[in-house]
Amino acid sequence: MPEAQSQETKKPKVLPKPNSDFYQTFQMLSEAEQQTVSKVRAFMETSVAPVINDFWAKDSFPFDLLPGFRDLQIVGAGYDGYGCAGGSNLLACYIAMEIARIDCSFATFFGVHSGLAMGSIFLCGSEEQKKKWLPPMARMEKIGCFGLTEPLVGSGTGGGLTTTAQRDGDTWIINGQKKWIGNAPWCDVSIIWARDVADNQVKGFIVENKTTPGFSVEKIQNKIALKVVQNGLITLNNCRIPEENRLQQDSSFRDTAKVLRMTRFLVGWEATGCQMGAYENTLRYTQQRLQFGKPIASFQLVQDLLAKMLANVTACQCMVARTAQLHAEGKLNDAHAALAKAFTTARMRETVAWGRELLGGNGISLDYQVARFFADAEAFYSYEGTYQMQNLIVGKAVTGLSAFV
């Protein structure tokens, strides 16, 4: 063997760094937007990633990280005015994906506050309500939650809410329970959806958690997914809410659905971020883990699963990118959002399961990250409308026939 060649074979091979943006979708953002997302990436990698497993294991929320997160000035991304971060819709989506790439719980905390709670006020509130509530929420002085699901009504919220609102002069009396509500055990403001007993229509109310008599929250225990997010069972017992806190641009579930349409396709972005995190951690592991004297990444069957993981990630990125364009053009409908949520979360379940598999025994240990993505994916798959509900929405749109019971 010539000398030069033999020396070359002795050098340790430099392997490519894991990169989950294979089709360079990041370049769809403007330069300024890329800088914002890079800031989010740096915060998530240096402040959240090193500590998040401990919080996950203990079912607790990292409150100490909130000041640094607030300083990123990304709350209310995609909303113009009212002290919100603004920017393009694509930027808001990228931020959600980037947060989920490191931690799905943190993405959920952010999605509930900036997406569901602030989005309800942004889309369904009057000018006065937006001016009053959005600036302090954008500054994270007030954190929000979104109460739609009930103990006995989940998928059927469109037709069967049991929480009632009864008008009494200038106030509304609200009674009922809301289950699974993210951020509820510690946040300040709840958007509560209730059925007006007078016209049987769903209406939205801004409820102040800490000062409303009759409002109580019990933390939901023993979860196996998104353990960092604090979910609550809210009880409203004769809560009196002023008419000025009823969302003025909301008169039926059709308006509530506007909020869900926006946040559902954002869950598609989060599900894509979850896969990116699982893929990158898995690839890194397979490049380092030796079996039979070689990195397991050099085995054909391992590369097959890595390629399939990357294909899922890339397909989802391209799909959600198009939903963001449709949203920006005002063309995103319920079926578009539902298809993206269903597809990305189904692919996510495959991707995280292949990642878990490629880590062998370490795939069930929190210490190697992939197990957290694997567990958290289960909540993404079910929340904001289950897979079946999304496909029923798509089925109705494409067949013209409703299969809802």
Ligand X SMILES: Cc1cc2nc3c(=O)[nH]c(=O)nc-3n(C[C@H](O)[C@H](O)[C@H](O)COP(=O)(O)OP(=O)(O)OC[C@H]3O[C@@H](n4cnc5c(N)ncnc54)[C@H](O)[C@@H]3O)c2cc1C
Question: Which residues of this protein are in contact with ligand X, per CB under 6 A?
Answer: 112, 145-149, 154-155, 180-182, 226, 231, 379, 382-386, 388-389, 405
Measured from the CB of residue 48, what is the shortest distance to ligand X in angstroms? 18
Min separation Cβ 387 and ligand X, Å: 6
Helix axes 370-382, 253-288, angle to 10 degrees: 160
Q: How far is the CB of 381 from ligand X (least distance, A)?
A: 9
Q: Which is nearer to ligand X, 112 or 305 (CB)?
A: 112
- Nearer to ligand X (CB atom), residue 40 or residue 375: 375
Q: Shortest distance, CB of residue 178 to ligand X, whole angstroms?
A: 6
Minimum gap (Å) between residue 152 Cβ and ligand X: 8
The residue nearest ligand X at its CB is 154
Cβ–Cβ < 8 Å for 384, 337: no
Smallest separation (angstroms) from ligand X to the CB of 398: 17
Q: Which is nearer to ligand X, 252 or 362 (CB)?
A: 252
Q: How far is the CB of 116 from ligand X (least distance, A)?
A: 6
**CB 108 → ligand X: shortest distance, Å?**
7
Which residues contact residue 175 at a Cβ distance below 8 angstroms, ignoring those fewer than 6 apart? 163, 164, 236, 237, 238, 239
Cβ atoms of 252 and 81 within 8 Å: the answer is no
Q: Burial-class residue 355 by CB neighbours within 10 Å (0-12, 13-18, 19+).
A: buried
Nearest to 370, CA basis, from 298, 269, 296, 274: 274
Which residues, including other chains, have CB under 8 Å from residue 356's CB and lie 6 or more apart?
363, 364, 370, 371, 374
Residue 49: alpha-carbon gap to chain centroid: 17
- Token look-up 């079912």 returns 59
CB of 316 to ligand X, least distance (A): 20
With respect to ligand X, which residue has the nearer C-beta, 35 or 388? 388
Contact 378, 303 (CB under 8 A): no
Who's near 361: CB < 8 A, 6+ residues apart? Answer: none
Q: Rounded to the nearest 5°, which phi and psi values hold at 211? A: -125, 5
Question: Looking at beta carbons only, is 263 or 317 nearer to ligand X?
Answer: 263
Three-state DSSP class for 235? strand
Q: Which are the contacts of 263, defined by CB distance < 8 A and separation ≥ 6?
A: 111, 115, 116, 119, 384
> How are beta strands 189-196 and 202-208 bridged, if at all?
antiparallel
Beta bridge partners of 290: 295
The nearer residue to ligand X, 220 or 296, going by C-beta atoms, is: 220
* Identity of the residue, 173 or 191, whose beta carbon is nearer to ligand X in the bound complex: 191
Looking at the Cβ atoms of 81 and 156, the one nearer to ligand X is 156
Instruction: Considering the complex, state which of residue 219 and residue 294 has its C-beta at the smaller distance from ligand X.
Output: 219
